[in-house]
Amino acid sequence: MSVTLRELYENIKEKEEIRIAAGASGLDHIVRWVHMVEGVGISSFLEGDEIAFTTGIALSDAAELLELAEYNYRQQAAGMVINVGPYIKEIPQEVLDFGDNNDFPIFRVPWRVHMANIMREFTNQIHLDEQKKMEVEVAVKNAFYFPDNQEMYLPALLRHGYKKEWSYCVAEIEILSGDGLAIGEEEKKKLLRFARETMHRWQKAALIMENGGDIQILCVNVTEQQMQEKLNAFWQEVEKYRICEGSFYGGVGSVAEHIGDIGKSFAAVEQIKRLQKKRHRKNQIMTYGEMGLYKLLFSLEGQDVLAEYYEEILGALAKYDYANETDYGYFLKKYFGLGCSVQELAAELHMHRNSVTYKIHKIEEILGLSLNSQENRTKIIIAFMIEEICG
């Protein structure tokens, strides 16, 4: 959704004499603004994703131009436009090598070309893109939270190129810092920038938004599995390049076969994220298709039938633990988590097999159920799933 250097360059290269000189592999960098940068002192004001323009008027030699390019890169500029003329006779090879080695686009503009024309053309395109992005983000959020009111989002999405016949899939990840809290604003901005560049290389139509610390992603014409694979690859790059030192909870919603069903995909991914948090499953992207029986249980959320079922199956055990300060509920969950294996549970809890067997019989007595029955085991598993959702 955001405008890239490639788009800006393609739109202007036939109008103005500007050419890519190095770093062409970085042309998919997102651009937020333009900035005149004549020295490293000015470069410190860059906030990221700007195109840095320079005439070289404040530079004395090639070493200072290389230093400026390196500083612009460290400030996460999208690229650099160098005006070749009286101050910079030609772009030094070491500057070009730096651009190529770091995927940092460097453009060459001859002195006879007015840099102001290029800057004006770029800013006009950026303004138009920002306006479009804002309208689309508002429309998509309306589709998320007011799915039944299509007038709040359908006209805007269709106007900006989204099609009724496309399928839509929503993913969401909640990023946490190393200590389990929300990440800071600077880290959030850096991660969001990286997410947009990464996802846009995969799909130009992808929309990446930030919402209260969550990164929300809308893609078109993809499967749940493709989205899952892409998000896993994205997080691997986050860790590889140390974009963020934290962790996440996240998932991929159902595929909406119609533009009016985007809200259903969003509702599904919200359920997945809540489930992952309750199960403490960090850094695992779960798809809607992998939810299994949880789909049915979530559809019944808020209805009395879930609480009634849990009370019927496990209520007596919960009451016994509360009254006697025992841990039979925890013990039973561990038992089921280990496939109902007495031997594995004894090893896990460092207990004698006879002690494990005694506790199992005691649980059967409290519940009035035999744990050897497959039907009873299924009932208990469902009750534990309800506890995960509603507890």
pLDDT in tens, 328-352: 999 999 999 999 999 999 999 999 9
What's the mean pLDDT in 201-210? 91
pLDDT of residue 131: 93
pLDDT > 90? residue 197: no
Q: Decide: 265 and 147 in contact? Cβ < 8 Å.
A: no
pLDDT > 80? residue 320: yes
Report the alpha-carbon distance of residue 231 to residue 179 in Å, rounded.
Answer: 22
Residue with tokens 């920038």: 193
Quick one: which of 247, 225, 245 has its CA closest to 171? 225
Percentage with pLDDT > 90 across the chain? 84
Place 1 in a pLDDT band, splitting at 50, 70 and 90.
Answer: low
Task: Give the pLDDT confidence of 121-163 residue by residue, as tens digits.
Answer: 999 999 999 999 999 999 999 999 999 999 999 999 999 999 9
CA 229 and chain centroid, separation: 12
Which residues are paired to 285 by β-bridges? 250
Percentage with pLDDT > 70 across the chain? 100
What's the mean pLDDT in 109-129? 95
Domain 304-390 belongs to what architecture?
A: Orthogonal Bundle (1.10)
Task: Give the pLDDT confidence of 19-34 residue by residue, as tens digits.
Answer: 999 999 999 999 999 9
Domain 5-122 belongs to what architecture?
A: 3-Layer(aba) Sandwich (3.40)
Domain 163-291 part of CATH 3.40.50.720: no
Give kind and range of the element (H or E) at residue 84: strand 79-84
Task: Give the pLDDT confidence of 259-296 residue by residue, as tens digits.
Answer: 999 999 999 999 999 999 988 999 999 999 999 999 99
Report the alpha-carbon distance of residue 284 to residue 173 in Å, rounded.
Answer: 10
pLDDT of residue 201: 86
* Residue-range domain boundaries for the chain: 5-122, 163-291, 304-390
pLDDT of residue 183: 86
pLDDT > 80? residue 306: yes
Three-state helix/strand/coil letters over the chain? CCCEHHHHHHHHCCCCCCEEEECHHHCCCECCEEEECCCHHHHCCCCCCEEEEECCCCCCCHHHHHHHHHHHHHCCCCEEEEEECCCCCCCCHHHHHHHHHCCCCEEEEECCCCHHHHHHHHHHHHHHHHHHHHHHHHHHHHHHHCCCCHHHCHHHHHHCCCCCCCCEEEEEEEEECCCCCECCHHHHHHHHHHHHHHHHHHCCCCEEEEECCEEEEEEECCCHHHHHHHHHHHHHHHHHCCCCCCEEEEEEEEEECCHHHHHHHHHHHHHHHHHHHHCCCCCCEEEHHHCCCHHHHHHCCCCHHHHHHHHHHHHHHHHHHHHHCCCHHHHHHHHHHCCCCHHHHHHHHCCCHHHHHHHHHHHHHHHCCCCCCHHHHHHHHHHHHHHHHHC
pLDDT of residue 309: 96
Place 12 in a pLDDT band, splitting at 50, 70 and 90.
Answer: very high
Place 204 in a pLDDT band, splitting at 50, 70 and 90.
Answer: confident
Chain mean pLDDT for the chain:
94
Q: Decide: 118 and 33 in contact? Cβ < 8 Å.
A: no
